[in-house]
Amino acid sequence: METYEGPREWSEPESRAIAEFVMSIKDSLVVSQSLFFAELDIPVVSLMTIMIVRVVIMIIMVMIVTVVFMIIMVTIVIIVVMIVMIILMIVIIVLMIVMIVVIIVIMTIMRNFLEKKMSSLLLLLSFNIIVVW
């Protein structure tokens, strides 16, 4: 493969056209220096600026991931708290039902007891009334 470099830098019209175009947009151009561009006299944004931009982008990405993680964690905590509250409500309802059943049983026992006592008291009263007459 043959290459023609010309008598001096930028002597070819194509090279001059590219150089003029690049120089006209140099303030908004970031060129990564490579072997292909090694011989071009193009102002390259400093490596430090590129590193700072990358660090800032990484920090922003970490912040976004952190916020998303926090939102997910808060959502999970809220769901767990709601499940615990539902379980507690079910336990309270079951306890109330048990209390109602116990009260009904106690009332039934008391009623039976009182009925027996009342019947014996009524019998005693009726006997006394008969004796008095």
At 45-92, the pLDDT tens digits run 566 677 787 888 899 999 999 999 999 999 999 999 999 999 999 999
Parse the chain into domains and list their residue ranges: 1-44, 46-132
Percent of the chain with pLDDT over 70: 68
Identify whether the C-beta of residue 9 lies closer than 8 Å to the C-beta of residue 41.
yes
Which pLDDT value is given to residue 126? Answer: 65
DSSP 22-55: HHHTGGG------STTTTS------HHHHHHHHH
pLDDT in tens, 121-130: 666 666 555 5
